Amino acid sequence: VIMDLMEKLTHIFRQGLSNSFYPVPQQAIGVGSAFEGWSPHAQDVVYRVLVPLSPPPGHTFHLELDTAGSLQRNFCVLVELLCTCKRKQLWDDMLCFLHHPEEELRRRQDPSLLHTLCTGAYLDVKKTVHWFYRYVRVAWLLLPQSHRWHLMQQPSRRSCKFQLSKDKESFMVEIIFGVQQGDSDIFVGSQPGEAGIPSTIWLETYAVAEAKFFRHISRQAPQDSWHCQCLQLLARYLMGIDFSSYALKTVVMHLLNTIPLTRWRRGDFRQRLMDILRYLRCSVERKQLHHFVIGNERLPMEISLPSSFREAKPPNLFQHLARSPDAHRKAVREYIRLL
């Protein structure tokens, strides 16, 4: 239902924006626990999709690293204008933003992306979200789903959230926008981050690569594999505990990459739960949990990464435990509660 809705929305966007210079939405990609098959919230599941954005004609995107060496890499998306004087056969009546007089451009052509969704020369997350919200309200009325489903917009500053309801059925959709790093499965995205983050900052996200890993495992594993049930059960117990579900997911992904998939069947359920808890305990004790995507040479080759990723030093997701004795003591207590 979600992917069919996103496909139709994207099609309407492309048609309606064909003569404008807004970002071009590409095919949505399902990411996160609901699409990976282990969502712990049976009733309040959120279906997250990442919508890649491509530059409109006459524009190009360049990713600029904002901070180096930190656990979470931040980027700015620099928007530059391209000369289109020699490309008239590609874009019929388009005037070149660089070489036509401004007065003629204002009179005959829609404004460039720099004048709509950018702050300075950088693509602005909040302006992009607001633009998408506004357009969805119009596009929704053109969809056949609008006759059966009720769409309600939810407040969000860095992503688009909608609640879809029909009779007693209801679910939440969160749309995150992303700009692809080259032709890899790594994006910079509009997902929520720390409070006060500037609206021109896009956060590096590995959600597409991780979702592809779960799909790869599902294809390779026996039909009665219980790897998702292991993760789902433990993630459900994390409610009210200060461990992040992402840390738990990272542990399970590492084990899926090392324990043969034939040993994740229902009969192995108890042993695999103990393996996960043991790995988590050792990670807390050593104050070290390696990132799964960065620096992982065992990652399936079908997952496309930037050239530097496989050989990079993996970031430590438990870096905060190494820096703060109080945080480490709290993590030990939280582990005991989970156990």
SS3 letters across 41-81: CCCCCEEEEEEEEECCCCEEEEEEECCCCCCCCEEEEEEEE
Same domain, yes or no: 181 and 275: no
Cα angle vertex 81, ends 77, 87, to 5°? 130
Last residue of a domain, one of 205, 237, 271: 205
Evaluate whether residue 231 is within a structural domain: yes
Q: Residue 25 maps to which CATH number? A: 3.30.460.90
Same domain, yes or no: 235 and 323: yes
Evaluate whether residue 6 is within a structural domain: yes
Same domain, yes or no: 236 and 181: no
Same domain, yes or no: 4 and 79: yes
Question: Domain limits at 86?
Answer: 1-205
Same domain, yes or no: 245 and 312: yes
**pTM, full prediction:** 0.92
Per-residue pLDDT, 273: 96
The residues, any chain, with a CB within 8 Å of residue 287's CB and separated by 6 or more, are: 316, 318, 321, 322, 328
**pLDDT tens digits for range 100-149:** 888 888 888 889 999 999 999 999 999 999 999 998 988 999 898 899 99
Q: Domains in the chain: how many in total?
A: 2
As a whole number of angstroms, the distance between CA 317 and CA 221 comes to 27
Q: Do 130 and 116 touch, CB atoms closer than 8 A? A: no
Q: Residue 305 maps to which CATH number? A: 1.10.1410
Same domain, yes or no: 103 and 237: no
As a whole number of angstroms, the distance between CA 37 and CA 47 comes to 11
Per-residue pLDDT, 306: 92
Low-confidence residues in the chain, pLDDT < 70: 42-43, 67-71, 87-92, 240
Per-residue pLDDT, 69: 46
Per-residue pLDDT, 233: 92
CB burial readout 272-309, b (16+ within 10 A) else e: bbebbbebbeebbeebebbbbbbbbeebeeebbbeeeb
Q: Is the dihedral of CA 181, 187, 189, 194 positive or negative?
A: negative
Evaluate whether residue 101 is within a structural domain: yes
For residue 77, list its beta bridge partners. 63
Same domain, yes or no: 84 and 110: yes
Same domain, yes or no: 235 and 194: no
Per-residue pLDDT, 311: 85
For residue 46, list its beta bridge partners. 172
Q: Is the dihedral of CA 324, 327, 329, 335 positive or negative?
A: negative
As a whole number of angstroms, the distance between CA 209 and CA 44 comes to 24
- Residue of 84, 2, 88, 102 whose CA lies nearest to 45: 2
Same domain, yes or no: 230 and 132: no
Phi, psi (deg, nearest 5) at residue 129 = -60, -45
Evaluate whether residue 166 is within a structural domain: yes
DSSP 261-311: GGG-BGGGHHHHHHHHHHHHHHHHHHT--B-SSTT-TTS-TTS---TTTTT
Tokens of 30: 């399902």
Same domain, yes or no: 88 and 175: yes
Per-residue pLDDT, 324: 95
- Return the SS3 of 83: coil
Evaluate whether residue 272 is within a structural domain: yes
Strand 160-166 with 24-25, pairing: unpaired
For the chain, what is the radius of gyration of the CA atoms? 22
